[in-house]
Amino acid sequence: MSNFFTETNWLLIFSLIFGSAALAVLGDSIGSKYGKKRLSVFGLRPKHTSRLITALTGAFIAIGILAVMSAFSQDVRTALFGMKMLKQQLYDLQFQLTQSEENTTQMRVSLAEASASLDLTSFELDTMRNEKIILEQEKRELETSLLIMREELQQIRHDLKALRSEAIALNANVLLGQRAFEPGLSREEIVKELDALKQTVRLNVLAKISDQAFTRLRDVPIEFDTETEGALIDELASSDERQYVRALSGENYTFGENLRIMIRLETGTSILTYKNGEPVYRKFFMNNREETKTTPEGILHVFLRELRNKAVSDGILPDPATNNVGTLEGEAFFNAVEELSSINTPLIISAIASGDIYTEGPVVIDLIFEE
């Protein structure tokens, strides 16, 4: 309330009151004066002239009030002369305010989206960090596993080396090669044939030991008994019959730094046991596979086993290591099984010599199936 009295422009108010009163009195006096004199202005009647003067006095009072207030107050000048401008400015401000509010709303939406995207990015970053930690842990585990595997590999290599040093490289009495010598050969021809046999023995020894070592060997020390070889050459040169020479491994040989293979040579008379085209063995089979529950492979195995026994009893020398007198190649065996499978009646299986077969073998045959 105290601010109302102190901040009010009382001088302006009282000046307007007294000025208006003075102008009213002046206007009334002039109007009365002209009325009494019965003067006329602009051709009007005196009464109307008096009223015109009174009206003009009121207008001057209003003009004076407005002039004084405009002179002393910026707000009054603005209200009188700048109202439309104010309204336009107010409208512009309201429009700008609306735009600002819309922009603010859009910015809030964008801020919310950015915040959500930031949260998602933060989550993905945390996930990537966790994955990085997991990958680092897996990497350490793999490195540890790799180190363990390397140590195990070194141990396996060490054990394999030790095992090879104790493992059998070549068994005793393995047939490594054989050759037939006709009567009447000179010593030079016999030596040449023996050298060819030695070369065959070397190749077979390398192949067998390489299979046992699981690696390809280039050379293995091989020795032949020179004294036995000399007596053998004399025996072959003086013989009037066909002779055979077989090369056999002397004993069991183990892997090691001192691996050295000794070869034993054996000789004997080579007798023609089966002529080319002659039956070596024949057998009749009922071939009741459904009743006996036998297979073509089983029938063929039985026949070949009996064939081997028959050949040995007829004087064919078997392989000392395997006791076999020959081999039937895989393709020939499966072809025989396929042919045997197509026969459902009793049959005779015949083994026919596919060449002259001597004491040293091998027994090479052709199989014939007769229904």
Which of the listed residues 216, 237, 270 is the one where a domain comes to its end? 270
* Selection from 169, 164, 171 nearest residue 250 by Cα: 171
Residue-wise pLDDT for 207-217, tens only, equals: 877 777 666 66
Query: Do residues 361 and 292 both lie within one domain?
Result: yes
Total structural domains in the chain? 3
**Within 13 Å and on the Cβ side, how many CA atoms surround 264?**
12
**Which pair of tokens denotes residue 40?**
């006329």
Q: Per-residue pLDDT tens for 259-289?
A: 778 888 888 888 898 899 999 899 888 877 6
Higher pLDDT, 52 or 193: 193
Q: What percent of the chain has pLDDT over 90?
A: 2
Indicate the pTM of the whole model: 0.50
User: Is the domain of 252 the same as that of 333?
Assistant: no
CA atoms within 13 A on the CB side of 239: 22
Q: What is the mean pLDDT of residues 352-357?
A: 89
- Please write the tens of the pLDDT for every residue from 195-209: 898 888 888 888 877
Domain assignment present for residue 365? The answer is yes
Q: Place 226 in a pLDDT band, splitting at 50, 70 and 90.
A: confident
CA proximity to 202, closest of 228, 173, 176: 176
- Asked, for residue 317, whether it belongs to a domain, the answer is yes
Looking at the structure, do residues 239 and 293 belong to the same domain, yes or no?
no
Task: Render pLDDT for 303-321 as a digit per residue (tens, 0 to 9).
Answer: 888 988 988 998 888 888 7
**Last residue within a domain, chosen from 249, 270, 291:** 270
Rg (the chain; Cα; Å): 67
Return the amino acid letter for 101.
E
In a domain, 4, yes or no: no
Regarding whether 249 and 187 lie in a shared domain, the answer is: yes
Q: CA nearest 34: which of 45, 20, 21?
A: 45
Q: Is the confidence at residue 75, as pLDDT, over 80?
A: no
Longest dimension (CA), the chain: 198
Q: What phi, psi does 332 have (nearest 5°)?
A: -65, -40
Q: What angle do CA 144, 145, 146 make, to 5 degrees?
A: 90
Is 22 part of a structural domain of the chain?
Answer: yes
Q: Are residues 278 and 355 in the same domain?
A: yes
Structure tokens at 156: 């396996």
Per-residue pLDDT, 46: 65
| Residues 227 and 298 reside in one and the same domain | no
Q: Are residues 234 and 189 in the same domain?
A: yes
**Average pLDDT score over residue span 164-171:** 64
Residue 293 lies in a domain: yes
Which of 228-237, 250-259, 261-270, 321-330 comes out lowest in average pLDDT? 250-259
pLDDT score, position 368: 86
For residue 165, the model assigns a pLDDT of 46
Residue 50: burial class (beta carbons within 10 Å; 0-12, 13-18, 19+): buried
AA identity, residue 30: I
User: Residue 263, Cα to own-chain centre: how many angstroms?
Assistant: 53
Please state the rounded mean pLDDT for residues 154-164. 65
Q: Which helix (H) or strand (E) holds 160?
A: helix 83-166
Position 91 in a domain: no
Model confidence band, residue 8 (pLDDT cutoffs 50, 70, 90) = low
Q: Are 261 and 223 in contact (CB under 8 A)?
A: yes
Query: How far is Cα 110 from Cα 183, in angstroms, rounded to an integer?
Result: 111
**What pLDDT digit, counting tens, does each position of 117-130 carry?**
887 888 888 888 88
Whether 283 and 334 share a structural domain: yes
- Domain containing 221 equals 169-270
Q: Which two tokens stand for residue 182?
A: 């006709």
- Kindly report which listed range (29-33, 105-109, 226-230, 303-307) carries the lowest average pLDDT score: 29-33
Instruction: Name the average pLDDT for the chain.
Output: 78
Is residue 332's pLDDT more than 60? yes
| 307/240 same-domain check | no
The more confidently predicted of residues 9 and 178 is 178
Of 31-40, 183-192, 242-251, the range with the lowest mean pLDDT is: 31-40
87 is a domain residue? no
Token representation of residue 16: 């307007």
What is residue 44's predicted lDDT score, i.e. its pLDDT?
A: 64
Q: Of the given ranges (4-8, 82-86, 360-364), which has the lowest mean pLDDT? A: 4-8
**253 and 286 inside one domain:** no
Specify whether 254 is located in the same domain as 287: no
Q: Which of 270, 297, 318 is the last residue of a domain?
A: 270
In a domain, 118, yes or no: no
Pair 365, 336 in one domain: yes
